[in-house]
A and B are shown apart, each in its own frame.
With several copies, the nearest count.
Chain A
Amino acid sequence: MKFGIVTFPGSNGDYDAYQSVVEGLGEKAVYLWHKDHDLQHVDVVILPGGFSYGDYLRAGAIARFSPIMREVVAHAERGAPVLAICNGFQIACEAGLLPGALLRNASLKFVCAPVSLRVENASSNFTSAYGANQLITLPIAHGDGRYSADEETLDRLEGDGRVAFRYAPDALQAAESYNPNGSMRDIAGILNAGGNVLGMMPHPERAIDSVLGSADGLPIIESILHRVAA
């Protein structure tokens, strides 16, 4: 299986995504340059975290016009998997691959911390290796992670089981402080209608080795592997 990780100018999670695939799973990965038009026959595209174009104007707004994004959109339209993490999620929303938008954190501050998440849909292409309602811990690191969409969209996402992850209190967190960015309905990650695009603010690629505190991100990549191999 071959993963393609897009490098936009200002991406900085591309390296971590690459390492998570290569070191974490022993699978093949290539970097895809934003100016290229060729996806190099990858099976899975990862839109990584970072600050594409400095996040100037709006996070993800400029990157969505990169030449490679046309191919990524076509790849997604073919039903092939796209994992969009953090800045990648912002880009995917701007590009219309996913509904809604990611706005400035309600605290107005960048926040880097481990957060606890509940797996809301444990049967998707990206989450089948988790148990239903499993609580996991992943790191977040973002300033613009407040997921927002109109009520109708939110209802549809929930109704169709397209909310993949939600921020959720763990045993030690006060109920009022578990949502780190004010996102609507505590949404941390969503799927597109076809179930082949996952956008999420937390960083699974930073949680693939318990030496770094958590390996809870690994099942996402494992899920993709199973699904695509099947």
Chain B
Amino acid sequence: MTRYRVAVHVVPRRGLLDPQGKAVADALHTLGFAGVASVHVGRHLVLEIDAHSESDAREQTSNMCGRLLANPVTEDFEIASVSAV
């Protein structure tokens, strides 16, 4: 078993209203950041897990996302990185 650090991004599904992203974008405009076209706010999860291999770690994480970490109705997830620690 090796310990892996896995980073996961969970983001609101496209097309769904993202009031949080909109509020942040508006605020950035008010602060003078005129170049901001859009903002989306999601979650960044960092898991440390014990797994047999990198692909095992990835698969476990993918399961966790399907079951718990992301809301299947409103969110998409992506495994951003997996690395041994």
Interfacial residues, chain A to chain B (CB-CB below 8 A): 53-54, 56-58, 61-62, 65, 93-94, 99-101, 103-108, 146, 148-149, 182
Contacts and interface: CB of A to CB of B under 8 A. Distances in A.
Contacts, number: 58
Given A57-B27, A104-B19, 15 more contacts: A53-B27, A54-B19, A56-B24, A61-B68, A61-B71, A62-B27, A99-B73, A103-B12, A103-B16, A103-B17, A104-B20, A146-B17, A148-B16, A148-B74, A182-B17
B31 A65 contact: yes
Consensus secondary structure, chain A interface: loop
A65 B71 contact: no
A61 B16 CA distance: 19
Interface in B1-54: 12, 16-17, 19-20, 23-24, 27, 30-31, 41, 43
Contacts of A182: 17, 19
Contacts of B24: 56-57, 62
Given A65-B31, A101-B73, A56 B16 contact: no
Interface of B: 12, 16-17, 19-20, 23-24, 27, 30-31, 41, 43, 68-69, 71, 73-74
A58 B23 CA distance: 11
Contact of A54 (B20, B69, B74): B20
Contact of A56 (B17, B23, B73, B74): B23
B68 A108 contact: no
A97 to B, nearest CB: 13
Contacts of A53: 23, 27
Contacts of B19: 54, 56, 104-108, 182
A105 B12 CA distance: 14
B23 A94 contact: no
A32 B54 CA distance: 42
B73 A149 contact: yes
B30 A65 contact: yes
B28 to A, nearest CB: 10
Contact of A65 (B16, B27, B73, B74): B27
A101 B71 contact: yes
A99 B73 CA distance: 9
B76 to A, nearest CB: 13
A53 to B, nearest CB: 5
A57 B74 contact: no
A42 B20 CA distance: 33
A57 B30 contact: no
